Amino acid sequence: MTKFETDNLEKVRKAVNVCTMCGFCKSVCPSFKEVGWDTDSSRGRITLIYGLLNGDIEADPSVIKSIYTCTTCADCVRRCPSKVDVVDIIEIARADLVKNGHMLDKHESMCDRVVEFGNPFGETASIQEAVGVERKKAKIGYYVGCTAAYRSKEISEATISVLKKLNTDFTVVDEICCGSVLQRVGYDQDYITTMFEKNVNAIKELGVETVVLSCAGCYRMFKVEYPKYIDVPFEVLHITEYLARQDLKLKPMDKIKATYHDPCHLGRHCGLYDAPREIIAKIPGMEFKEMEYTREKSHCCGGGGGVRSAFPDESLGIASTRLEEAEGMDMIITTCPFCVNNLLAGRKDEKIEVVDLIELVDKLL
Ligand code: SF4
Ligand code: SF4
């Protein structure tokens, strides 16, 4: 058996030692619900990872698949009575798999494009060209994020439009990918840290004091991951936090039954639950109802952790489950381009609308 190189065995051993196999994590794990095998549940994964790092089992395709079908939603971390940080263990294992030469083809080509072009889509237009905003010095900087800049353009267009309607003096920074795609799939952290530095330096250069983000994944990076490695000398706000501070006067939306889906990166990973709801509460006439699984207990859309690109069937199956939980609603509002895309792709009933809150605010402002 090929020797598997790792420096993380002790950390994983500690997690396995305190795991009582109670199964609380399994009861909430969206990939287990979709795949149906214990190998693709939280506790199954940490057991496999221990075997892998200890040299007891090989990194064969089934083991690799189990480690990469996790959406990193962190619902298991919330549920675990032994406080096992399952996501941390899974991301450690992914980094070890990559170091040992096991990278999924889909992830490898995505990472190659980030390294070559600064974004996972291989786009060559600069961020300012992509969104049509001139680069200048300003105290507020909009960090657009690759998905909203190059694919889900309606989100960057709405964000820019709202900032303009509020007479905000803002700039768009010379950004590259925030590093989330690379970090989620286990790419080399030293390289990712150089990306963090490039983004922070570009933001500092424009005299930005507050960075506003419309993508939940990018927000988590700036709020939680960047400070683990480098100094972040400016305020970081999700666009909903920025808007919650404004005196918004929104037009009514009568006869619309809507609910809110908490993106895992914004909710469980960053603890941001109130700002989007405060903005929704300002929409006159809207009939708002929470889903059964909401806020800290919100279920995942299936779009994160590199699952959508490598295992689209599992990802869309998880989206379908989340959509079923919104039955009876006309609209699901969320605050992340990945959640919008995955929920839209998982729809069986096209009558239910899925929108990013910023698009709604733009229409109603
Ligand atoms: S992070 Fe989510 S998908 Fe991954 S093991 Fe935990 S509950 Fe399952
Ligand atoms: S909830 Fe925690 S202790 Fe229980 S099986 Fe899952 S990882 Fe182990």
The per-residue pLDDT for range 315-353, each reduced to its tens digit, is 999 999 999 999 999 999 999 999 999 999 999 888 999
Q: Give tens-digit pLDDT for 250-301.
A: 999 988 999 999 999 999 999 999 999 999 999 999 999 999 999 999 999 9
Q: What percent of the chain has pLDDT over 90?
A: 95
What spacing in Å lies between the alpha carbon of 45 and ligand 2's midpoint? 11
Q: Whose CA is nearest to atom 2 of ligand 1?
A: 73
Q: Where are the alpha helices (DSSP H) in 135-188?
A: 146-150, 153-165, 180-185
For range 98-123, the mean pLDDT: 96
Residue 352 CA to residue 331 CA, distance in Å, equals 5
The model's confidence at residue 73, banded by pLDDT at 50, 70 and 90, is very high
What are 170's strand-pairing partners? 140
Residue 303 has pLDDT above 70, yes or no: yes
Block residue for tokens 């058996």: 1
Q: Whose CA is nearest to atom 5 of ligand 1?
A: 42
Number of DSSP helices (H) and strands (E) in the chain, helices first: 21, 8
Residue 214 CA to residue 223 CA, distance in Å, equals 13
Angle between helices 153-165 and 357-364 (to 10 degrees): 40
Residue 320 CA to residue 301 CA, distance in Å, equals 8
Residue 30 CA to residue 321 CA, distance in Å, equals 9
What are 355's strand-pairing partners? 333
**Which atom number of ligand 2 is nearest to the Cα of residue 86?**
7
Closest CA to 143 of 115, 182, 184, 174: 174
Residue 76 CA to residue 117 CA, distance in Å, equals 35
| Predicted TM-score (pTM) of this structure | 0.95
Residue 1: predicted pLDDT? 67
User: Which ligand number lies closest to the CA of residue 24?
Assistant: 2
**Which atom number of ligand 1 is nearest to the Cα of residue 264?**
2
**Which atom number of ligand 2 is nearest to the Cα of residue 76?**
1
Residue 40 CA to residue 34 CA, distance in Å, equals 9
For residue 171, CA distances in Å to 147, 273, 328 come to 18, 27, 41
What spacing in Å lies between the alpha carbon of 32 and ligand 2's midpoint? 14
DSSP 8-state secondary structure symbol assigned to residue 247: -
For residue 112, give every residue at least 6 positions away whose Cβ sits within 8 Å of its Cβ, in sequence order, or none: none
Q: Give tens-digit pLDDT for 226-262.
A: 999 999 999 999 999 999 999 999 999 988 999 999 9
CATH fold of 9-102: Fumarate Reductase Iron-sulfur Protein; Chain B, domain 2 (1.10.1060)
Q: Whose CA is nearest to atom 1 of ligand 2?
A: 80
What tokens were used for 365? 């402002």
Instruction: Please give the class, per CATH, of domain 108-244.
Output: alpha beta
The model's confidence at residue 4, banded by pLDDT at 50, 70 and 90, is confident
For range 188-192, the mean pLDDT: 98
The residue extents of the domains of the chain are 9-102, 108-244, 257-364
Closest CA to 222 of 267, 179, 282: 179
Pairing of strands 257-260, 331-334: parallel
CATH fold of 257-364: Rossmann fold (3.40.50)
What spacing in Å lies between the alpha carbon of 202 and ligand 1's midpoint? 34
Closest CA to 274 of 294, 303, 253, 302: 294
Same fold, 108-244 and 257-364: yes
Q: Give tens-digit pLDDT for 137-187.
A: 999 999 999 999 999 999 999 999 999 999 999 999 889 999 999 999 999
What spacing in Å lies between the alpha carbon of 5 and ligand 2's midpoint? 26
Mutate to test the pocket of ligand 2, among 17, 18, 20 (most ligand atoms within 8 A of CB): 20
Residue 119 CA to residue 198 CA, distance in Å, equals 13
For residue 223, CA distances in Å to 197, 211, 219, 235, 348 come to 14, 10, 6, 9, 35
Ligand 2 within 6 A of 173 CB?
A: no
Residue 254: predicted pLDDT? 87
